[in-house]
Amino acid sequence: MKFTRPLATAAALVAAASPVAAHDAFGDLGPFYQAALHPLADPAQGLLLVATALLLARQPRASVRPAYAALVIAAGVTLAAASFLHLPAPGLRTMAVAALALALATLLAPRPGPTGATLAAALFGAALALPLAPETGTAVPRAALLGLIGGALGIAIVTLWLWGAAEWADRRISPLATSVAAAWVGAIALMTAALPA
């Protein structure tokens, strides 16, 4: 008798359930905002973005300035090139392995200098842009152009915000804050890479 009400509630919730669409977390916001918020809806891209920002937070500011610019430019160029070339998006496992490698690098705290950081950031920027690449290599219509601009801005803004938060945590909370965050990202990336294909 005392289980009747919870069972009736559970049955009503199951009956009221409706299908959901992948990557439709924010509804139809239009191509610009949909692409700008893509890192929040795509776990693979979000994981790699967090790992990239954490690695940048371990670098001196003199290295971060050119590295961040290279990351943003590489993301924009990759998105523009993907409009005309058929560039395959990396799978979840590939992105997870890349995030794991970045998390381990963050824990080792390399200091490659401005040139090395810039080259690495350009590579990371291109990798971050690939999940947003259009599926067909045709001329860019207005909606696709808005999506490309939104995607590039989303990568730039979220990376900058995460880098700032990680650097602030290292200075204000503990010098180990970025290392702890990188360990968590590495653990999540490892579990994600272990998922069956």
HSE-up of residue 69 (Cα within 13 Å, Cβ side): 7
CA–centroid distance for 156 within its chain: 11
pLDDT, average across residues 59-82: 85
Q: For residue 28, name the pLDDT band (cuts at 50, 70, 90).
A: low
Buried b (16+ CB within 10 A) or exposed e, 48-87: bbbbbbbbbbbbeeebbebbbebbbbbbbebbbebbeeeb
Q: Which residues contact 156 (CB under 8 A, 6 or more apart)?
A: 71, 72, 75
pLDDT, average across residues 70-84: 82
Q: Is the pTM of this model over 0.75?
A: no
Lowest average pLDDT, out of 48-62, 100-114, 173-187, goes to: 100-114
CA pair distance 186, 130, nearest whole angstrom: 21
* CA dihedral of 142, 146, 151, 157, whole degrees rounded to 10: 160
* pLDDT at position 27: 56
Q: Which residues contact 101 (CB under 8 A, 6 or more apart)?
A: none
Question: In terms of Cα–Cα distance, which of 197, 149, 133 is closest to 36?
Answer: 149
Domain extent listing, the chain: 54-193
